[in-house]
Structure 1
Amino acid sequence: MPNTLIIVAGFLAKPGQEQRLRDELDAMIAPSLAEDGCLGYQPFADPRRADRMVIVEEWADESALAHHFSLPHFTHVARVLEEILAEPFTLRRLTDAPVRVPHGG
């Protein structure tokens, strides 16, 4: 069975846009979780920096993620993020690391 794809997206809001960032990312949860291939979608806030947030997502595969990027709720939030972010968001794609079994053990 192929590994799932984990996405970690990081966001830095412009001053005064912190609550709008939270609201926009929260609005993405339900429609994203309703998508075929979405196994998890959860925003997290930095408790020390109100302007920083992260979303951790889990997708069945690359095609599910590509489909997500084409849907209206994603294209809407992408436009809003261009207005409210202090810098472009970061996107990391991760998969399970292979487990190494020590020799002789």
Structure 2
Amino acid sequence: MTEQLTLIARLTAKPEHAEALGNGLHDLISPTLKEEGSIGYVLHRDNDDPNVWILYETWRSRADLDLHFAQPYTKAMLSRFPELLTKDMELTFATAVG
């Protein structure tokens, strides 16, 4: 049996691209939630730093997350990160324990 996987992604935008990053991430919500292995996909904005966006994602399995990263819309957004981000996105992978 595979375990659900949670991914928390923290993305720090260049100040001049904060809105473009947020809009691009927002556009991923609908198609991502239609993916078979997607359980949850929620976009947040940091209360203290408007340049920071946080994705809280829950997937049926790591294989489903890997399929998500292979989707054309995900690849298109990832290709924009060098232009939009100040640094690489920070990824935390977690599994519920209780």
Q: TM-score range by the shorter chain?
A: over 0.9
Look up the SS of the partner of 1:50 in the other structure: coil
Between the two proteins, the alignment pairs up a number of residues equal to 98
Inter-partner Cα distance in structure 2 for 1:30 and 1:15: 26
Report the TM-score, using the length of structure 2 for normalisation.
Answer: 0.95
Shift of 1:3: 2.7
Matched, 1:45 2:45: yes
What stretches of structure 1 of length at least 5 have no aligned partner? 100-105
- Aligned residue number for residue 20 of structure 1: 20
In terms of fraction of residues, the more helix-rich structure is: 2
Distance 2:3 2:65 in 1: 14
- Per-residue deviation, residues 37-61 of structure 1 (Å, max 9, x unmatched): 0000011001221101100000000
What is the RMSD computed on CA atoms of the aligned residues? 1.1
- Quote the Cα distance in structure 2 between the aligned partners of 1:57 and 1:12: 17
> Which structure has the bigger radius of gyration?
1
Partner of 2:88: 88
C-alpha distance in 2, partners of 1:22/1:47? 14
Residue 81 of structure 1, CA deviation: 1.5
In structure 2, the gaps of 5 or more residues are none
Which residue identity lines up with residue 55 of structure 1 in the other structure?
Answer: L
Aligned residue for 2:44, secondary structure, equals strand
Using the alignment, how far apart are the partners of 1:63 and 1:46 within structure 2? 29
TM-score using structure 1 length: 0.89
Distance in 1 (alpha carbons) for counterparts of 2:34 and 2:82: 25
1 CA distance for matches of 2:65 and 2:48? 30
What residue identity is the alignment partner of 1:58? Answer: T
Instruction: Give the AA of the match of 2:36.
Output: D
1:3 is paired with a residue whose SS is coil
The residue type equivalent to 1:12 in the other structure is T
How much does 1:31 deviate?
A: 0.6
Runs (4 or more) in structure 1 with deviation over 4 Å come to none
